[in-house]
Amino acid sequence: MKTNSISTVKVTRQRINQTKNNQHRKIKKTSSRVVHITAGLSHQNTSCSVSNRTIDNLQNDKSFQSKVNNNNSIALSQHQDDKPFSLNLLKVKDAWANPMNYHNKRSNQNLNNKKKKKYTRSCLIWLLLVLILLIITGLIVLIVFLTKPKTSTRTTTNIINPVLRWNASGITVAGVTGMSGINASQLNNPWGLALTYDNTLYVTDRYNNRVQQFVSGSTVGTTVAGHSNGISNSMLNSLFFPSKIVLDSNENLYIADGFNNRGLYWAKSSNSGVLIAGTGVSGSARDQLNFTYDIARNWNSDITYLADYYNNRVMGYRSGNTTGFVIAGDNGAGGNYTQLNGPIAIYFDSLTNSVLIANFNCHNIVRWTLGANNWTLVVGSINGLPGSTSTLLFAPTGLTLDPVGNLYVADLANHRIQLFLNGEMNATTIAGKTGQLGNDSMSLNQPYTIALDNQLNLYVADNHNHRIQKFLRY
Residues 274 and 263: their CA atoms lie apart, in Å, by 8
List the chain domain ranges. Answer: 2-97, 114-160, 171-471
| 419 Cβ contact partners less than 8 Å away, ≥ 6 residues apart | 164, 406, 407, 408, 427, 428, 429, 430
Stretch 285-304: mean pLDDT? 97
pLDDT at residue number 64: 43
CA quadruple 223, 229, 233, 239: dihedral, nearest 10: 20
* Nearest partner of 344 among 388, 297, 292, 296, judged by Cα: 292
Q: What is the pLDDT of residues 49-92, one digit of tens each?
A: 334 444 444 444 444 444 444 444 444 344 444 444 444 555 54
Three-class DSSP category at 64: helix
What is the percentage of the chain residues whose pLDDT exceeds 90? 66
| Burial bucket for residue 258 (CB in 10 Å: 0-12, 13-18, 19+) | buried
pLDDT score of 11: 45
- Tell me how many degrees the CA angle 466-258-325 measures, rounded to the nearest 5: 140
Whether 100 has a pLDDT exceeding 60, the answer reads no
Q: Whole-number mean pLDDT of the chain?
A: 82
Predicted local confidence at residue 287, as pLDDT? 96
pLDDT over 70 for what percent of the chain?
71
Higher-pLDDT residue of 206 and 7 is 206
pLDDT digits (tens, 9 = 90+) for 335-391: 999 999 999 999 999 999 999 999 999 999 999 999 999 999 999 999 999 999 999
Structural domain 171-471, CATH architecture: 6 Propeller (2.120)
178 Cβ partners below 8 Å, 6+ apart?
A: 439, 465, 466, 467
Q: Span 216-241, mean pLDDT?
A: 97
Strands 253-257 and 262-266: antiparallel
Taking CA atoms, 267 is separated from 193, 224, 385, in Å, by 17, 9, 41
Phi-psi region of 206 (alpha: psi -120 to 50; beta: other; left: phi over 0): alpha
